[in-house]
Amino acid sequence: MAFILKDEDKNFVLEELKRYESKYSAIIPSLFRIQKKEGWISAEAVSVLSEVMGLPEAHINEVLQFYTMFNKEPVGKLHVQVCTNVSCAMNGGRELAKKICQKYQVKEGAVSQDGMITVTRVECLGACDKAPMMQVNDKYWEDLTQESAIQILEDLKQKVVG
């Protein structure tokens, strides 16, 4: 599937370029824009971006590969990021991640067969006082139990399908 940068996104990138002293500063907002539309950032997207921005592919790739919040592989409609850093791990974060994987029969980092869910473990998301927690797409869900987490995901799934 070839990647096509829509005109509105292209204009967004061109506008971002004007905002900063250095072109390099516009890389992160541009990557986020693509991720928001596509769910992930493909190598083709980097090539297209490189052309639009007039920056070398390798330099954009350096930024893309450095930050974990950019998805370098396709993700499901619900991207579930379960924190497994100290506080969450002590309160069952790892087990929670395992449970969700089991429930939706998906390996960590992969997309479930229905294309709905991707589970990844992440480091601290800064909500230690509400451990364990997870982030689904842009939203935090805190003070979870295994049951409540599954319930939340089921509800979200319904919303996406419905």
| Helices of type H across the chain | 7-19, 27-38, 43-53, 57-66, 86-90, 93-103, 146-161
Q: Return d(Cα 25, Cα 12) in angstroms, integer.
A: 14
**Interface pick for another protein out of 38, 57, 95, 142 (rule CB under 8 A):** 57
Letters for 36-55 (x = contact with another protein by CB under 8 A, - = none) are: -------x--xx--------
Report if residue 65 touches another protein, rule: CB under 8 A.
yes
- What's the closest the beta carbon of residue 24 comes to another protein, in angstroms? 12
Ramachandran angles phi, psi of 145, nearest 5°: -120, 170
Report if residue 1 touches another protein, rule: CB under 8 A.
no
Spatial CA neighbour of 29 closest among 12, 42, 45: 12
* Complex with another protein: residue 47 or 137, whichever CB lies closer: 47
Report if residue 58 touches another protein, rule: CB under 8 A.
yes
Report if residue 70 touches another protein, rule: CB under 8 A.
no
Total residues contacting another protein (rule CB under 8 A)?
A: 12
Report if residue 85 touches another protein, rule: CB under 8 A.
no
39 contact partners, CB below 8 Å, separation of at least 6: 71, 74, 75, 77, 79
Report if residue 62 touches another protein, rule: CB under 8 A.
yes
What is residue 131's DSSP assignment?
-
* Complex with another protein: residue 46 or 100, whichever CB lies closer: 46
Compute and round to an integer the Cα radius of gyration of the chain.
18
Residue ranges binding another protein (CB under 8 A): 43, 46-47, 56-62, 65-66
